[in-house]
Amino acid sequence: MAILQNDPIRSVVTIFASARAAGVSANRDPEAPADYLRHQLALLRPDIVVADAQTRNRCAHDGARWLTDLPAPEDEAAPPPAGGWPVLRPGDPIGINFTSGTTGLPKAVERSHRMALTGADGFGAICAIRPGDRVALFDPLSFAGGRAAAMWTLLNGASLRIFPLRRAGAAELVAWLRRHRPTFVKTTPTAFRGIVNAVGGQTLRHALEGLRILSFEGEPCRAGDVEAFRRHAPDGCLLRLTYSATEFGNAAQCFLTTDFVPDARGVPAGFVNPGYSIWQGLPARDAAEPVVGADGTAEHVLHLRGAGVVRDYVGAPGLTARHFLPPDARGHAGFVTSDRGFVDKDGLLFVSGRSDSLIKLRGFRLSPDEIEDAICRMLPVVQAAITLAALEGEPPDAAPERLVAHVVLAEGARCDRAAFRAALARALPEPAIPSAFLSVACLPTRPNGKVDRAALPRRIPAAAAGGRRGGAPRPGTEATLAAIWKRILKLEEIGRDEAFADLGGSSLSALEVVLEIERSLNRALPDTILSEYPTIAALAARLDDHGHPPDPVLSHLRPGPGARLVFFSPLDGDGLGFVKFIPELPPDTDVLSLKCRALAQKDAALPSDVDRLVPILSDRIAALPPRRPLILAGNSYGGVIAFAMSRALAAQGLEVASVLLLDTYGPGCRRRNAAAAPVADSAVADATVTIVPGKPVVLAPTASDLVLIRADAPNGLACTPDYGWARMTTGTFRLLQIEGDHSTIMHKDSVPIVGPTLRELIRSLEKPHDP
Amino acid sequence: MVLQALRDRPGLLAACPRAPLDGAAPATFAGDPGSETVPERLSRVALSCRPEIAVADRDRAIDFATLLRASDGLAARLCAAGPAARAWRSCRMTRSGPS
C-alpha cells in the first residue's frame, strides 16, 4: 500500500492500520513532483494507494485501487473484518522505506516487524522513552527516519506531536512548542539552523522548557550546531547524535551535554552501537572508476554490519550487489556506505563527509562537508552549501570551475568576501577556500529537511566573484592589466588591490595572464611574476619600471599620493610578505618594502650590519619624492631596522610620524635559559639588541611614536609586556597584543587584526594636527 | 536512561549498554523482540499504560490509545475495501515474493 497523504497524523494511523491488516506500506511525500511520484509508484506497484483527492488527480497510477475517503482517526472504529484479523509473523514485512535520494533517485528497502520492534526496543531503552514523553517531529513521515520515529514513539507508549515545519514555517514554531512542551525533539541539523535563524536573536530556551533530549539525525552535526544547542537548549537537556541510514538503521549514537567542546576532529557521530561493527574498506564503485586520494592511496569508506542492516534494495539487484555484504553466521548483513570517517580507539565514530560528494578542482579533491563546517564555525554564517559554478555570460559548455559558497548570514552580518577568505585561511588550505560567497535567504532543501546541493545554481553573477578592493585601476598599465585579468578570469570588475588567487585565479589562468601581458607589452616576464606581484597595483608598479632589473633593496608595492608606509622585512625577507596587508590600508597609501636580505649576507651589494646599512637605506628613502606622513613598519628584526631608521631619517630632516613594530623583540627581552645569549644586553645601558649573533645593535630613543603589536604566545623570553620598547621613544607608545606566536604575526590569519590597526594608524596620522 | 561519562571527554556521554534499565533488557539494538509483531506490541502497550487522556489528532498529536482505536477501525476498513488480507501478503514488491 502506498500512502500519499498530506496529514502526517492520518499517515501514522494508516501505517499502523496497514500493519494490522498484514499489509506492507510505503509512505511518500504527496507534494513531490508528479513524475517523481509516478516513478516511485512504478517501483512499488502497490495494490492500494491511500491519497488525497488532489494527489490522485495529479499523478494517476494504473493498476492500483485508490482510496481517498478513509475515515478520520477520531471516527468510530469499524468492526473487525469478517473472518478476523490476518495472522502475522515477526519476520513478515511491514513497510518499504525509501532513502532520501541524496545521490539520485530514492532507493527502497524492506523492513520487517522484527526490525521495527528491535529499533523501538533499543531506542526506548537508551533514550528512556516512556508514557508521558511527548515526542516532536518537524519533518514529514515520507522518509525512513520519520516513519521509524513514529514507530518507536508510539510502541514505547509516548505521544507523538508533529509540527508541519515545511508548510507552517519556523516562525509559528515557538508558540507550538510552548503549547506542546515536547520532552524529545527529533530533527535535522539543517532544520534546527533554520529555526534558530527564524527566531533571530531570541533564545528558544523558554519555548523548549522541559525538553530532555534534542536529537539530530540524517545529517552530520557541526560545531556550530553544538553551539546552537548550548545556546537554545534548557538546562539539563542532552543533544543526541546518531549515525543512521535507511539501509542500516541506527549504527552509532552518543549524547552531548552543554559542557561538550569539539576538538580538532570535529563533532563525533556517536559510539558504535552494540550489535554493530564499523570498519574502513574500499568503496563500492565500478572498477573502471578507481578512487584514489590526492596522496595516491586508495580512498576508504565506512563499512558496517549489524542487526539492523537490511539485505538488499528492492528491485535493484545491481545496486544491491555493489553495496550489500552477505549475512554472517548470525544473519547480520553488511553494507558499504559512501561516507568517509573513522572509529577511534574508544569506539567513537567520526564521519568527515561523503566520498561521492567530493569536488575535484584543479587537481585537488575537496570535501564540501568540511568546507561548510569551517564556514559555519568561523564566519557569521548560519548555513552554507558549497558547489562548483561557472559565471553568467560564460559559454554554455564552460566547466564550472569556481568554488562558490552559498551562505545564509547571521542576523546583522555582511557578506565580505575578502574578510571571509582571510578568516577561512586559518582553517582551510588555499584550494578549499571559496572564491565567491553568495548570500541567500535560505538554502534549498529536500522534503526531509536536508540541504539539496543539486538545486543550487550552477551559474553565478560575475559581480559575485569580482572585488573592488583598492578602487578602480588607474589609467595606463593598471587599466591594461585589469582588462587582461577581466578577460581571462571572466570578471566584470576588479579592484587594483585584489589578489589574483582571491579572484579565482589558478596556476593555469596565471600562465594565461602572463602570456597575454607579454604579448600586450612585447616583453618577456618570469612565469612566477603573479605570485611575486599578486595585485594589479603591485604588478603595474613593477612593470612600469620599464624592464629595469628588480631593485635589490627597494620594492614599490603600491604607488599612491597619500601617506607613505615603508615596510622592513626580517632577516632574509624580500618584503613580499607585506603584500597581503596592502588591501587593508587606505587606498591612496604609498607602500614600499625594503629588503633586508643583506643582513643574512645573501646580497653582497649591501653591508650586513645595521650601523652601516641604515645610512644607505635612509639615503634611498630620502631620494624619493616626499610623502607625508611617513610611517616605518617592521616585522621581527625588520622592526629593529625600522626603529634605527627613524633616527637616521630625522637626522636628514625627514620626520617619521610613527614606527610600527610587529613582534619585534626589544631591549627588555632576555632569553630565559641561556644567560650567554641575551636578546638584549643590559650591560650597554639596557639599549642593545642582539639578534644576529655577534652583531649587537645599540639603540637610542627616537622622537617618533612607537606602536608594538606583539603575539601573546610564550616566546621563551624573559621580558616585560612592552619588550622594553616603551622607554625607547620620547613620543607616545602603544601596545596591542594579538593571538599567535612570533612566526604567525605576518601570517594571513593576522591580517584582520593588523590590517585595521595599520589603517587606523595611517588615518589618524593623516588628520591635521590640532595646533 | 543510563549514560556513561567518559574520562577526559567532558560533555560526551555514551549510552551504557551493559547496565539494565529498570530491570529491562540491556539497551541494545541487537536484541530480538521475540515473537511479537507491531500490532501486538501496540495493543500490549496500550493495555499496560492505561492512559487517562487520549489526545486527538486535531492538534497534530496522537498517542497510542487513540492510534490503536483509529488504526483498528482503519485496518478493518482497509481489509473491507481492499482485496482482503491475502493481497498484502502477496504484495509484489516484497523481496521474498508471494508467501
User: Would you say residue B57 has pLDDT above 80?
Assistant: no
pLDDT confidence of residue A233:
93
pLDDT confidence of residue A55:
82
Quick check: A128 and B93 CB within 8 A?
A: no
Q: B12: distance to nearest CA of chain A, Å?
A: 5
Cβ atoms of A627 and A599 closer than 8 Å:
no
Cβ atoms of A656 and A614 closer than 8 Å:
no
pLDDT confidence of residue A632:
93
Quick check: B66 and A96 CB within 8 A?
A: no
Chain B interface disruption, residue of A9, A12, A20, A258, most B CBs within 10 A: A20
CA-CA distances (angstroms) from residue A302 to A137, A241, A243, B9?
A: 28, 17, 11, 24
Residue (of A524, A532, A540, A526) closest to A484 by Cα position: A540
Quick check: B38 and A96 CB within 8 A?
A: no
The pLDDT confidence band at residue A631, using thresholds 50, 70 and 90, is very high
Contacts of A258 in chain B (CB under 8 A): 11
DSSP state letters, A703-727: SSEEEEEEE-S--SEEE-TTTT-GG
Quick check: A9 and B62 CB within 8 A?
A: yes
User: Would you say residue A78 has pLDDT above 60?
Assistant: yes
Give the one of A20, A23, A45 whose C-beta lies nearest to B92's C-beta. A45
Cβ atoms of A39 and A13 closer than 8 Å:
no
The Cα–Cα gap between A642 and A210 comes to 63
Note whether A250 contacts B: Cβ–Cβ < 8 A.
yes
pLDDT confidence of residue A708:
92
- Three-state SS for A329-342 is CCCCCEEECCEEEE
Architecture of domain A104-353: 3-Layer(aba) Sandwich (3.40)
Quick check: B67 and A13 CB within 8 A?
A: yes
* Residues A4, A9, A10: CA angle, nearest 5 degrees: 50
Beta bridge partners of A361: A364
User: Would you say residue A744 has pLDDT above 60?
Assistant: yes
State the CB neighbour count (10 A cutoff) for residue A186. Answer: 25
Note whether A646 contacts B: Cβ–Cβ < 8 A.
no
Element (H, E) at A517: helix A507-521
Provide Rg for chain A, Cα atoms. 33
For A8-54, what is each residue's pLDDT tens digit?
Answer: 888 888 999 999 888 899 988 888 777 778 878 887 888 888 988 88
Note whether A126 contacts B: Cβ–Cβ < 8 A.
yes
Q: A166: distance to nearest CA of chain B, Å?
A: 14
Beta bridge partners of A250: A244
Chain A interface disruption, residue of B44, B79, B89, most A CBs within 10 A: B79
User: Would you say residue A304 has pLDDT above 80?
Assistant: yes
Quick check: A24 and B60 CB within 8 A?
A: no
The pLDDT confidence band at residue A237, using thresholds 50, 70 and 90, is very high
Note whether A233 contacts B: Cβ–Cβ < 8 A.
no
**A639 or A429: which leads in pLDDT:** A639
Quick check: A117 and B1 CB within 8 A?
A: no
Among the residue ranges A232-236, A251-255, A278-282, A460-464, the one predicted with the least confidence is: A460-464
User: Would you say residue B2 has pLDDT above 90?
Assistant: no
Most confident listed range (A364-368, A507-511, A656-660): A656-660
Note whether A90 contacts B: Cβ–Cβ < 8 A.
yes
Element (H, E) at B13: strand B12-15
Among the residue ranges A10-14, A90-94, A543-547, the one predicted with the least confidence is: A543-547
Domain ranges of chain A: 1-38+45-68, 104-353, 358-465, 551-766
Cell of A658: 610613527
State the CB neighbour count (10 A cutoff) for residue A63. Answer: 10
User: Would you say residue A330 has pLDDT above 50?
Assistant: yes
Quick check: A92 and B48 CB within 8 A?
A: no
pLDDT confidence of residue A335:
94
Q: Please give the mean pLDDT across all residues of chain A.
A: 81
Residue (of A662, A755, A750) closest to A469 by Cα position: A755
The pLDDT confidence band at residue B98, using thresholds 50, 70 and 90, is very low
Contacts of B71 in chain A (CB under 8 A): 13-14, 16-17, 19-20, 73
What is the identity of the amino acid at A267?
Answer: V
Quick check: A164 and B60 CB within 8 A?
A: yes
For A442-468, what is each residue's pLDDT tens digit?
Answer: 888 776 667 888 788 888 877 777 667
Note whether A223 contacts B: Cβ–Cβ < 8 A.
no
DSSP H helical ranges for A277-397: 317-323, 368-378
pLDDT confidence of residue A687:
62
Quick check: A47 and B82 CB within 8 A?
A: yes
User: Would you say residue A125 has pLDDT above 90?
Assistant: no
pLDDT confidence of residue A768:
59
Strand A359-361 vs strand A364-366: parallel, antiparallel, or unpaired? Answer: antiparallel
What is the identity of the amino acid at A129?
Answer: I
pLDDT confidence of residue A332:
86
* Range A160-176 average pLDDT: 85
**A341 or A289: which leads in pLDDT:** A341
The Cα–Cα gap between A301 and B46 comes to 43
Q: B52: distance to nearest CA of chain A, Å?
A: 11
Q: A358-465: same fold as A104-353?
A: no
Cell of A316: 535493484
For A575-621, what is each residue's pLDDT tens digit?
Answer: 667 777 888 888 888 888 876 554 444 545 566 677 777 888 888 88
pLDDT confidence of residue A564:
92
pLDDT confidence of residue A406:
92
Taking the domain A551-766, which CATH number applies? Answer: 3.40.50.1820
Q: A659: distance to nearest CA of chain B, Å?
A: 46
Contacts of B70 in chain A (CB under 8 A): 13, 17, 73-75, 77
For A464-505, what is each residue's pLDDT tens digit?
Answer: 776 677 788 888 888 899 999 888 887 877 888 887 877 777
Contacts of A249 in chain B (CB under 8 A): 29
Among the residue ranges A250-254, A317-321, A672-676, the one predicted with the least confidence is: A672-676
For chain A, percent of residues with pLDDT exceeding 90? 14
Max distance between CA atoms of chain B, in angstroms, equals 61
In CATH terms, A358-465 corresponds, of 3.30.300.30, 1.10.10.10, 3.30.465.10, 3.30.300.130, to 3.30.300.30
- Three-class DSSP category at A355: helix
The pLDDT confidence band at residue B95, using thresholds 50, 70 and 90, is very low
DSSP state letters, A229-284: HHHHSPTT-EEEEEEEETTTEEEEEEEE-TT---BTTBS--EEEPTTEEEEEE--S
Cell of A757: 590597526
DSSP H helical ranges for A143-203: 144-155, 165-168, 173-180, 189-198
pLDDT confidence of residue A36:
77
pLDDT confidence of residue B53:
47
CA-CA distances (angstroms) from residue A724 to A645, A680, A683, A686, A714?
A: 18, 9, 14, 9, 16
User: Would you say residue A209 has pLDDT above 90?
Assistant: yes
First CA to last CA distance, chain A: 89
pLDDT confidence of residue A299:
62
For A371-415, what is each residue's pLDDT tens digit?
Answer: 888 888 788 888 889 888 887 777 676 677 788 999 988 877 888
Among the residue ranges A254-268, B27-41, B84-98, the one predicted with the least confidence is: B84-98
For A700-736, what is each residue's pLDDT tens digit?
Answer: 889 999 999 988 887 777 778 888 898 899 989 998 8
- Three-class DSSP category at A40: helix
Cβ atoms of A366 and A431 closer than 8 Å:
yes
User: Would you say residue A530 has pLDDT above 70?
Assistant: yes
pLDDT confidence of residue A288:
37
CA-CA distances (angstroms) from residue B41 to A21, A151, A221, B66, B74?
A: 15, 11, 33, 15, 18
Note whether A119 contacts B: Cβ–Cβ < 8 A.
yes
